[in-house]
Chains A and B, each alone.
Chain A
C-alpha cells in the first residue's frame, strides 16, 4: 500500500510550538468563615469532586504507635455522628457517594465525589465524617484485621520487601523511612483513644488545603466549606522532623526469595521540592528514566537488550529531604547484567548530562503533554491540591511550562553532576540474583 508523505507532515508538526491552552479558570474561594479553596467550576458533567488534605501524615505517628494515621484513614467512613458503621455505609451507597482517605508521609488526604443533585446530603455526610468520626470498637477490629492482613501480605510482596529494605538501609530510623501501615504489634494494640488523638492532631483548619472541581459555583461552595470543616479547631501543633541525610556511599542488600525474577529498588540522595534545581532535576531525570519509553534506561535495558518489562526512576521530593529512586525487575540470571547497564548509564549521565537534542525532546514532551493531566474533574482536583501542597502558587499552571522551557543544557549537566552519583547508589534486591559482584563490607545485613 502506498503511503502519504509522512515525514514531511511529521517534521512540520514537530517544529510547531505546541500551544497550551488552559481551558479552565482556577478561582480562589474564601468562605464566610475564612476557609480557602481552589475551585474550577464546570457544569458539563453533573458531578462535584473535592480533594482536601491536612499537612502531617505518617510523620505524625508517634514512635510507639506506628501506622496510626493509616489506621485513621480506614476509619473515617466507618461511622460518624449518630450513624454507626453500617448505617454510614448504607447512606453512602444510597447517595452513590465516593469517599476515601489516604495518608502519605506528609499529608493526610480525603477524596470525595458526589452527583451534584445529591450535593446537600452528600456534603452533610462528609461533614459528619470529618468532624464527628466514631471509632467504635467493632468496625475498628474489622479494619484492624484488614490492615494486619495487608501487613502480612506486604511481607511476601517482592516489591514491598525491596522498597522497605532500601529505605531502611538509606534512611535508618528517620520518619520518612516509615511504612505507612505500621507493624503488627503497633496495629494490634491500637485503641480508639489513639485514633482520636491522631484525628484531633491532624484535622486542623490551619493545615487544611482544598481543591474543588465540577458542577458547583463559588457562591455555593463558600458556605459548604464552613459547613463541612468549620467545626474543626483552627490551630494545631506543627510537626518538625530532622532533615534527611542519605548515605553518600552506596551498598547492596539482597533479600533471598525463591522467585523467578529479581525485583530491585535503588536510590541515591535527591533534593527537596523547594530546591531551585528541582525543575532542572525533573527534566534531567525525565531523560534518564522517567516517562517510560524513550528514556535512556528504558532504551538500554528494555528496548535494546530485552532485560526487563520496565525500568523507571523518579524524584521523591519531600519537605526535609528527597531521593532519586528507581525500580527494575529481571530474571535472576540477568540481575548482574541489568545492574551493569544501569551503572554505566548513571556514570554517563553524571559525566556528560543529557545531550542538547535529548533536552529539547524532553522539554517538548513535558510542555506539550501538560494538558493531559487536566482532562477530567478528578485529575484537575488532584493537580490543584498537589500544587497547593507544594506551595507553588495559584498561577503555577500558567507558569509551569515556561519553567520547563527555561532549563538549559548547562543547567541540566550541572544538576546531573550534582545528583547522579553512581558511588552513592544503594540497591536492594529480592529474589535469587546471579552475577552480583560482592565487595566485602558492602552489604549491611
Chain B
C-alpha cells in the first residue's frame, strides 16, 4: 500500500509545501530499535483476547489508530510467499458493507490518512485522524478485521499492482536484488530467508482462495492488538474498543506460530552478483544472532550497543578504521536488529573507496574486526554508544506514529510493555567487557553471510534515443 515518491524527480524541489511525501515505510520495516521511556501506556485485554494499548499524547489534536496482527511473511506456507503482504493490499478492497476503496475514501473524507505495512513478523494497519473521529475509525477497522470480501476481479487487478510494486522496489534495483539473495543465503531453514513481498514466481500464482484461507486463520481477535496513541483518554478508548473490537469473535483459536528454527550456523555463506546497472561495488554482510526472545538476559541490549559501536555514525569504530584511517571505504555502517520473533541480525554495509578493490576492502573489514576481537572495545566507545541509544528514546517520543509503532511491534513479537520500557535500563547496564565478548562470540565468520555486488564488465546500452 505504500506510496512511492516523487523525491527522485523533485530531487531538491519544493515538494514539501505539498503534502506529497506523506508517510514512508518500507514493506519490510527494519527500523533500528528505539523504545520509549517516560510514557504512560495503558494495557487492556478484551473478553475475546484482543489486546488494547493506549498511549496518551496531548501535544496535537491528532490520534493514531493501529491494528497489529501477529502474522507476517515468515508465517507463510511453502510456495505461498507474498501472501501476507498481498492480503494486506486486499484488505482495502471492501467488506460486506463497504465497496472497494471506500474505507480509505471515508477516512479521507474525515480529514484522515491511512495505510498499512507488512514485515516478517507482523502486519499492521493504521489511520491518523482527528480524535473525534476515533469511533468511526474503530467501527471501520473492526469491520475490515472480520468481514473482508475478496472479489475476483479486484483481486486480479491488485495482484498486478503488487507485481508492479515488486518490480519498482526490487527488480529494478540491483542492490535490492542482492539483499534478497543475501537473506536467502543467510538462512538455511528459517523463513526469514524469503522476501516479504514474495518471489515473483510465487506471487503471480497467488489466488483469492489463498488470501481467504490466510485471513481466516490469522485474523482472529486473540491474535491481534489495537494500539491508539494521541489526544485521547485511555478509559474512553477502552469503552470504544469494547463496543467495536470487543464484538469480534474468535471463529478459530489463535494460531500457534510454529516455524522452522534456524540450526546453529556452521559455514560462512557467500553470494556474488554482477549487474550492468551497478555503478560502484558494495559489500553487505549479516551475522545471525539470537533475537530478543532467545538471547540470554542482557545479551540483546549488548548487541544493540555493539551494533552502535561498530558502525553508527562517523565516529563509530568501523568508520574510524576503514573510512578515516585506512581510507579503503567511502562509507560503512552497521546496525543490530533483534526485535524479532525468532533470530536477530547484525548487519554491515560497506562501499569501497574509489579505486579500492572490493576484495581488499573486504579483507580490511575482516582485519578491523579481528583487531577489535583482540583489543576489545574501549570504555569510551561503549559510553558514547549508550548515550546515543538512550537519547534515541527521547527523540522517538517526539513522533506519535513512532510511539504507537513501538508498542505494536513489541506486541507482535511477544514482548511485554514492561520489557519495552525497561530497555533503557538494560542499555545502561551493558559493560565494555560484555560488548567485547559479544563481538568475539557473535561476529564469527561462520555466523555470517556476505554479499558482494559488482558492476558487470560490459555496460548496457546507455544511448539516449527517441
| Chain A residues within 8 Å of B, Cβ to Cβ | 1, 3-4, 6-7, 9-10, 13-14, 18-21, 23-24, 42, 44-47, 49, 57-58, 77, 85-86, 89-90, 92-96, 98, 102-106, 113, 115, 142, 145-146, 148-149, 152-153, 155-160, 162-163, 165-166, 179-180, 252-261, 263, 265, 273, 282, 285, 290-294, 299, 302-310, 312, 314-318, 325-327, 329-331, 361, 364-378, 382, 386, 390, 438, 442-445
Sample 10 A-B pairs with CB under 8 A, ordered by A number.
Answer: A3-B143, A6-B143, A90-B315, A255-B462, A312-B6, A316-B15, A364-B109, A368-B111, A371-B62, A375-B230
Complex interface residues of chain B between 271 and 287 (CB less than 8 A to chain A): 276-280
**Binary contact readout B168-182 vs A (1 if CB under 8 angstroms, 0 otherwise):** 100110000000000
CA distance A302 to B158 in the complex (A): 8
Indicate whether A253 sits within 8 Å of B464 (C-beta atoms), given known contacts A307-B164, A376-B398. Answer: yes
Residues of B near A257 (CB, < 8 A) are 277, 460-462
- Say yes or no for B336: interface residue by CB 8 A criterion: no
CA distance A58 to B13 in the complex (A): 11
Indicate whether A256 sits within 8 Å of B22 (C-beta atoms), given known contacts A23-B61, A90-B384, A261-B172. Answer: no
CA distance A316 to B13 in the complex (A): 6
The answer to whether A104 touches B136, judged by C-beta atoms less than 8 angstroms apart, is no
CA distance A158 to B276 in the complex (A): 13
The answer to whether A47 touches B398, judged by C-beta atoms less than 8 angstroms apart, is yes
Given contacts A49-B398, A290-B18, 13 further A-B contacts (CB under 8 A): A6-B98, A18-B130, A44-B59, A86-B320, A104-B13, A162-B9, A255-B464, A293-B108, A314-B6, A325-B9, A368-B112, A372-B128, A390-B17
The answer to whether A57 touches B12, judged by C-beta atoms less than 8 angstroms apart, is yes
The answer to whether B330 touches A145, judged by C-beta atoms less than 8 angstroms apart, is yes
| Chain B residues within 8 Å of A, Cβ to Cβ | 2-6, 8-20, 22, 58-62, 92, 96-98, 100-101, 104-106, 108-113, 128-130, 133, 135-136, 139-140, 143, 146-147, 156-161, 163-165, 167-168, 171-172, 230-231, 244, 247-249, 276-280, 313-315, 320, 323-324, 327, 330-331, 351, 353-354, 384, 387-388, 390-392, 394-395, 397-400, 460-466
Contact check: which of A3, A290, A310 meets B147 at CB < 8 Å?
A: A3
The answer to whether B394 touches A306, judged by C-beta atoms less than 8 angstroms apart, is no
The answer to whether A372 touches B323, judged by C-beta atoms less than 8 angstroms apart, is no
CB nearest to B466 among chain A residues? A443
Residues of A near B391 (CB, < 8 A) are 96, 115
Indicate whether A369 sits within 8 Å of B111 (C-beta atoms), given known contacts A261-B164, A443-B466. Answer: yes
The answer to whether B14 touches A149, judged by C-beta atoms less than 8 angstroms apart, is no
Residues of A near B278 (CB, < 8 A) are 156
Q: Which 7 A-B pairs have the closest CB atoms?
A: A368-B111, A443-B466, A306-B160, A159-B8, A96-B391, A104-B12, A306-B157
Residues of A near B158 (CB, < 8 A) are 306
CA distance A303 to B460 in the complex (A): 34
The answer to whether B110 touches A331, judged by C-beta atoms less than 8 angstroms apart, is no
Contact check: which of A44, A252, A261 meets B171 at CB < 8 Å?
A: A261
Residues of B near A331 (CB, < 8 A) are 163-164, 167
The answer to whether A445 touches B466, judged by C-beta atoms less than 8 angstroms apart, is yes
Residues of A near B324 (CB, < 8 A) are 85-86, 142
CB nearest to B278 among chain A residues? A156
From B2, B59, B105, B327, name the one whose CB has the most chain A CB atoms within 10 angstroms.
Answer: B59
Q: Separation in Å of the B454 CB from the closest CB of chain A?
A: 13
Q: Separation in Å of the B343 CB from the closest CB of chain A?
A: 29
CA distance A361 to B102 in the complex (A): 13
The answer to whether A166 touches B60, judged by C-beta atoms less than 8 angstroms apart, is no
CA distance A312 to B37 in the complex (A): 38
Residues of B near A86 (CB, < 8 A) are 315, 320, 324
CB nearest to B229 among chain A residues? A375
The answer to whether A98 touches B395, judged by C-beta atoms less than 8 angstroms apart, is yes
Q: Separation in Å of the A67 CB from the closest CB of chain B?
A: 12
The answer to whether A179 touches B164, judged by C-beta atoms less than 8 angstroms apart, is no
Q: Separation in Å of the B464 CB from the closest CB of chain A?
A: 4
CA distance A165 to B61 in the complex (A): 43
Q: Separation in Å of the A331 CB from the closest CB of chain B?
A: 6
Q: Separation in Å of the A360 CB from the closest CB of chain B?
A: 9
Residues of B near A310 (CB, < 8 A) are 2-4, 168
The answer to whether B464 touches A369, judged by C-beta atoms less than 8 angstroms apart, is no
Q: Separation in Å of the B405 CB from the closest CB of chain A?
A: 13
The answer to whether A375 touches B400, judged by C-beta atoms less than 8 angstroms apart, is yes
Indicate whether A159 sits within 8 Å of B9 (C-beta atoms), given known contacts A365-B109, A390-B17. Answer: yes
Indicate whether A93 sits within 8 Å of B111 (C-beta atoms), given known contacts A98-B395, A282-B18. Answer: no
Residues of A near B60 (CB, < 8 A) are 23-24, 371, 374-376
CB nearest to B463 among chain A residues? A256
The answer to whether B398 touches A369, judged by C-beta atoms less than 8 angstroms apart, is no
Contact check: which of B9, B104, B143 meets A327 at CB < 8 Å?
A: B9
Indicate whether A256 sits within 8 Å of B461 (C-beta atoms), given known contacts A89-B315, A142-B323, A330-B164. Answer: yes
Residues of B near A163 (CB, < 8 A) are 8-11
CA distance A429 to B200 in the complex (A): 24
Residues of B near A1 (CB, < 8 A) are 146-147, 247-249
Indicate whether A365 sits within 8 Å of B384 (C-beta atoms), given known contacts A9-B139, A23-B60, A375-B400. Answer: no
Indicate whether A325 sits within 8 Å of B13 (C-beta atoms), given known contacts A157-B8, A308-B164. Answer: yes
The answer to whether B133 touches A13, judged by C-beta atoms less than 8 angstroms apart, is yes
The answer to whether A156 touches B279, judged by C-beta atoms less than 8 angstroms apart, is yes
Contact check: which of B19, B112, B280 meets A152 at CB < 8 Å?
A: B280
CB nearest to A102 among chain B residues? B12
Contact check: which of B105, B280, B331, B461 meets A258 at CB < 8 Å?
A: B461
The answer to whether A361 touches B108, judged by C-beta atoms less than 8 angstroms apart, is yes
CA distance A142 to B20 in the complex (A): 34
Residues of B near A318 (CB, < 8 A) are 13-14
Residues of B near A317 (CB, < 8 A) are 14, 17
CB nearest to A159 among chain B residues? B8
The answer to whether B3 touches A312, judged by C-beta atoms less than 8 angstroms apart, is yes
The answer to whether B331 touches A179, judged by C-beta atoms less than 8 angstroms apart, is no
Residues of B near A302 (CB, < 8 A) are 161
CB nearest to B98 among chain A residues? A6
CA distance A305 to B164 in the complex (A): 12
The answer to whether A10 touches B106, judged by C-beta atoms less than 8 angstroms apart, is yes
Residues of B near A292 (CB, < 8 A) are 3, 22
CB nearest to B231 among chain A residues? A23
CA distance A179 to B279 in the complex (A): 18
Indicate whether A155 sits within 8 Å of B464 (C-beta atoms), given known contacts A94-B384, A325-B13, A329-B164. Answer: no
Indicate whether A368 sits within 8 Å of B330 (C-beta atoms), given known contacts A93-B315, A314-B10. Answer: no
CA distance A263 to B167 in the complex (A): 11
Q: Separation in Å of the B127 CB from the closest CB of chain A?
A: 11
The answer to whether A375 touches B12, judged by C-beta atoms less than 8 angstroms apart, is no
CA distance A162 to B168 in the complex (A): 14
Q: Separation in Å of the B246 CB from the closest CB of chain A?
A: 12
CA distance A367 to B108 in the complex (A): 11
The answer to whether B19 touches A373, judged by C-beta atoms less than 8 angstroms apart, is yes
CB nearest to B147 among chain A residues? A1
The answer to whether A445 touches B464, judged by C-beta atoms less than 8 angstroms apart, is yes
Residues of B near A148 (CB, < 8 A) are 354
Indicate whether A145 sits within 8 Å of B353 (C-beta atoms), given known contacts A260-B171, A327-B9. Answer: yes
The answer to whether B59 touches A258, judged by C-beta atoms less than 8 angstroms apart, is no
Contact check: which of A180, A259, A306, A375 meets B172 at CB < 8 Å?
A: A259
